[in-house]
Amino acid sequence: MINLLKSEFLEAEMLTINNELQRLVQLRRSPTLKIAYQEQWETLKTRASDLLSAVSQKCIKVHNAASLHFVSNVHLVEDQALQYLANTPYFPESEYLTKEARIFKLLRQKIVKQQEEAKAKEDLFLQKQLELEAIVKMQQDLIAQLMNKQA
């Protein structure tokens, strides 16, 4: 019995199919009988299709068996977990929060605080910029008035 899922077998089969494919592609412009050429292509397609079907069926069977095994194990573990869950004490959230979660929360708060400070600085900067623009505008008006008096 050949194990279809052995990588050596698959590689050998794929190599022979690849070699046959290359040979047929090279023959596309050579003077051969049309029927023989078409028959070789049909044979190659059938071999590749059969190999793919056999491998996919085998993989599906293995996957189904593994899934059934996994599901049966999960149900056994769930049943046991439910038995243990009924006898577990209640712990407040502060006791089961991990150190990483606390650190992450603190870092998030720190980032939010830094963002708020940066926003406040930006607002202050914009306010001062507006004040300076107002002062510059007033000085321009004053200079324009002085120029008009002298003229």
Domains of the chain, residue spans: 7-88, 93-151
What would the two tokens of residue 33 be? 């009988």
pLDDT digits (tens, 9 = 90+) for 25-39: 888 888 877 888 899
Determine the residue type at 25: V
pLDDT digits (tens, 9 = 90+) for 82-129: 555 555 666 666 666 677 778 888 899 999 999 999 999 999 999 999
| Contact between residue 51 and residue 17 where contact means Cβ atoms under 8 Å apart | yes
In the predicted model, what is the mean pLDDT of the chain? 83
Q: Is the pTM of this model over 0.85?
A: no
**Alpha-carbon dihedral angle through residues 110, 112, 115, 120, given to the nearest 10 degrees:** -100
Highest mean pLDDT among 2-11, 46-55, 65-74: 46-55
- What local confidence, expressed as pLDDT, does residue 71 receive? 74
Burial, 9: exposed, middle or buried (Cβ in 10 Å; 0-12, 13-18, 19+)? Answer: middle
Instruction: Round to whole Å and give the CA distance between 105 and 103.
Output: 5
